[in-house]
């Protein structure tokens, strides 16, 4: 243990991990020691001769596992952003180890007997507010983990949990393997037709960085793929790149995820049955706002019919454009973004390549900070004295209006081969007051294309939305103001957790934000007023496509976790059957196909829950409408309520109660349909 930073006090600014001293070899010993420490703590609680009460059982359980949490939070963050083969090997070893330990905790009969005793006596304990909520959540977590099962049931559930952890790790590593194995090679001007200069420069830098025998190269990061599909005049290369992107995790061989999906679905279904639920979807949704698969399907069906009708109109216009250009082919999936980009220029005089120059990464970071300041009184100062895990990462200290420290925010914005694809928010430390005031350390991870040396990093409008989205999650973690870590920040149901993130996106396109921060990366010129108005007018452009690609993935996720395992034994056939049933247009690909659906199969956060983005969009559309109704997008009174009941409240109350406390009522889907421009887009 000598020299292992996880066994030392961190005398760093804000006690952040001393990344420069942490090596791959340190993780497994620290995880094993953390497991041993919490095992002893749990044994002390479970075997206590004192009658169970809130302090010696519930708060004692809340206090346990601190050493393990510290190493696991660092490990999980770095395994997603600095993944090499040694790190992946540790990940494969640690996944079953951690799952086995979790089962040992949550399936511990003497421990649960004490928790259950406190829960049964809760009305006589004088608890209210947060302590009562903590008791209810811990008890429910134990019940949902199988604590009420008999000996055989607990043993089988432990086996299932351990196997699922291993499968989830294999799933994510297989995707990364496919993503790093493929690069689209471009040779000279013939392969670069239509591509913006800024994209060409980045593609040349990537080819040089990877030592590829080509002048330019394109990776499978989503941002690079979508940009290439929008601008490349080479239809054959668009098809090659999109096919590779859609095939991630499904290419056959040792990185194919099809068998993992089938095993995962079967094990999840078995666990649900053990716990008394008809399907895994029933089990998973029982602890969400939606509560039932029927409620989810009702929302999906309503949005799907309107979205598909709008997509058909969009497809018709794109096909007309192909014919007008003399094309003699049907619109295909690799054509949609290319011709949509042309249509955007025709309808709104918007050139996305030109627009990118007005969305520099630095400006959008400042824009997000500005909105957080206007709404919540936060100020951000870049810190250059903070240990960081990669040279691209930046650190900012968040302070309140009185200059007091609120949180440390890390931004990791650029794609690299060692980083998993996508964008996410995570924490190296969560906020809590129990055991002493602990302020959070929050990180946002994006995968924007890194520019060539000397060039500014530019974002597409979609990537700017992603930055705002993830920063909304970050604010949910940074503004957390609760006593117990179990209830802190984003520890809420999946169909509520997207409300703070999606709501924050609305402020990106506010004129007062764009006028100030959407400035040309080289000239500093503000986004021209006429272009600003066209950008705002185009907010609903291509929403049929966006709705269909998202909902198709949500349907497959819900149906797979609602079906008997035998029906999902061939996941790809099952996926095709679902898409045929709902009538997905062939020209629109799913946003996430099964073999690379990390939301659903790399872990369980969004399993049977990918619908959550749509459910939360009902909330965010209605919530922003509340600001619009006041005539002030930064209305101070409403912003204060938003902070109190949503951003800083963690899981202090039921999500429906939290939303009603902010808005005064629950929303309907009407605001969502209006936001997407689908209100009139019926079949």
Mind telling me the catalytic residues?
470
Task: Tell me which residue of 385, 382, 431 sits closest to 20, measured CA to CA.
Answer: 385
Positive or negative CA dihedral for 174, 176, 177, 178? positive
331-355: string of b/e by CB count within 10 Å (b at 16+)?
A: bebbbbbbbbbbbbeeebebbbbeb
| Count of Cβ atoms closer than 10 Å to residue 363 Cβ | 21
φ, ψ dihedrals at 414, nearest 5°: -105, 145
Helix (H) or strand (E) holding 680: none
Query: How far is Cα of residue 28 from the mean position of the Cα atoms in its chain?
Result: 26
Task: Tell me which residue of 218, 524, 236 sits closest to 363, measured CA to CA.
Answer: 524
Give the contacts of 401 (CB within 8 A, at least 6 positions apart).
Answer: 377, 379
Task: Map 135-147 to HEC letters.
Answer: HHHHHHHHHHCCC
* CA distances (Å), origin 48, targets 227, 390, 614: 61, 45, 46
Helix 543-560 / helix 612-630 crossing angle, nearest 10 deg: 140
Give the contacts of 568 (CB within 8 A, at least 6 positions apart).
Answer: 261, 262, 265, 266, 560, 574
| Contact yes or no for 677/540 (Cβ under 8 A) | yes
645-662: string of b/e by CB count within 10 Å (b at 16+)?
A: bbbbbbbbbebeebbeeb
Query: How far is Cα of residue 91 from the mean position of the Cα atoms in its chain?
Result: 20
How far apart (Å, rounded) are the C-alpha atoms in residues 348 and 147?
A: 58
CA atoms within 13 A on the CB side of 88: 16
Q: Torsion over CA of 117, 118, 122 and 124, rounded to 10 degrees?
A: 90
DSSP states of 360-424:
BHHHHHHHHHHHHHHHH--EEEEESSS--SSTT-EEEEEE-TTS-EEEEEEEEEE--TTS-SS-E
- Quick one: how many helices (H) and strands (E) in the chain? 27, 7
How far apart (Å, rounded) are the C-alpha atoms in residues 568 and 562?
A: 10
Scanning the structure block, which residue is given the tokens 């895990």?
389
Strands (E) across 415-559 are located at 424-429, 441-448
């Amino acid at each position: 243990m000598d020299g292992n930073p996880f066994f030392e006090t961190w005398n760093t600014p804000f006690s952040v991990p001393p990344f420069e001293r942490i090596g791959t070899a340190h993780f497994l010993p620290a995880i094993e020691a953390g497991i041993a420490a919490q095992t002893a703590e749990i044994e002390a609680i479970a075997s206590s001769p004192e009658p169970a009460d809130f302090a010696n059982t519930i708060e004692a359980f809340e206090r346990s596992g601190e050493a393990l949490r510290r190493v696991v939070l660092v490990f999980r963050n770095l395994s997603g952003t600095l993944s090499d083969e040694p790190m992946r090997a540790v990940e494969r070893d640690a996944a079953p180890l951690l799952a086995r330990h979790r089962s040992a905790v949550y399936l511990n009969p003497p421990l649960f007997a004490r928790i259950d005793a406190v829960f049964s006596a809760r009305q006589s304990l004088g608890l209210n507010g947060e302590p009562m909520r903590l008791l209810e959540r811990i008890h429910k977590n134990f019940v949902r983990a199988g604590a009420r099962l008999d000996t055989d049931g607990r043993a089988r559930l432990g086996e299932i949990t351990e196997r699922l952890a291993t499968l989830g790790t294999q799933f994510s590593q297989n995707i990364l393997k496919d993503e790093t194995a493929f690069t689209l090679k471009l040779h000279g001007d013939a392969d670069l037709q239509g591509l913006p200069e800024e994209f060409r420069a980045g593609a040349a830098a990537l080819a040089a960085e990877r030592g590829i025998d080509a002048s330019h190269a394109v990776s499978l990061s989503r941002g690079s793929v979508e940009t290439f599909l929008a601008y490349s005049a080479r239809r054959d290369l668009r098809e090659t790149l999109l096919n590779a992107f859609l095939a991630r995790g499904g290419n056959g061989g040792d990185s194919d995820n099809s068998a993992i999906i089938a095993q995962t679905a079967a094990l999840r279904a078995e666990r649900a049955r053990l716990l008394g639920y008809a399907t895994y979807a029933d089990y998973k949704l029982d602890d969400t706002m939606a509560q039932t698969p029927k409620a989810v399907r009702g929302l999906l069906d309503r949005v799907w019919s309107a979205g598909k009708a709008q997509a058909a109109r969009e497809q018709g216009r794109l096909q007309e454009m192909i014919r007008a250009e003399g094309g003699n082919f049907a619109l295909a999936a690799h054509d949609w973004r290319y011709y949509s980009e042309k249509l955007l220029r025709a309808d709104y005089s918007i050139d996305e390549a030109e627009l990118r120059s007005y969305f520099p990464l630095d400006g959008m970071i400042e824009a997000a900070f500005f909105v957080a300041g206007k709404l919540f009184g936060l100020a951000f100062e870049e810190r250059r004295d903070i240990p960081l895990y990669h040279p691209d990462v930046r650190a900012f200290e968040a302070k309140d209006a009185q200059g007091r420290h609120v949180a440390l925010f890390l931004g990791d914005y650029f794609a690299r081969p060692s980083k998993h694809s996508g964008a996410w928010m995570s924490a190296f430390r969560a906020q809590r007051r129990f055991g002493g005031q602990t302020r959070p350390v929050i990180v946002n991870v994006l995968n924007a294309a890194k520019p060539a040396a000397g060039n500014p990093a530019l974002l597409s409008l979609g990537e700017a939305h992603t930055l705002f989205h993830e920063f909304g999650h970050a604010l949910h973690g940074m503004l957390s103001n609760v006593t117990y870590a179990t209830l802190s920040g984003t520890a809420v149901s999946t169909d509520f957790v997207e409300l703070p993130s999606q709501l924050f996106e609305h402020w990106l396109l506010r004129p007062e934000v764009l006028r100030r921060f959407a400035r040309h990366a080289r000239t500093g010129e503000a986004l021209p007023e006429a272009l600003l108005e066209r950008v705002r007018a185009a907010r609903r452009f291509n929403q049929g496509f966006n709705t269909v690609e998202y909902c198709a993935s949500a349907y497959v996720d819900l149906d797979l976790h609602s079906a008997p395992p035998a029906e999902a034994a061939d996941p790809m056939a099952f996926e095709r059957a679902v898409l045929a049933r709902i009538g997905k247009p062939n020209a629109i690909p799913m946003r996430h196909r099964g073999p690379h659906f990390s939301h659903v199969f790399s872990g369980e956060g969004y399993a049977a829950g990918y619908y959550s983005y749509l459910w939360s969009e009902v909330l965010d559309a209605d919530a922003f409408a509340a600001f619009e109704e006041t005539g002030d997008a930064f209305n101070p009174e409403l912003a204060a309520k938003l902070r109190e009941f949503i951003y800083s409240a963690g899981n202090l109350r039921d999500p429906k109660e939290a939303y009603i406390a902010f808005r005064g009522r629950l929303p309907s889907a009407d605001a969502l349909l209006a936001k997407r421009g689908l209100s009139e887009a019926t079949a």
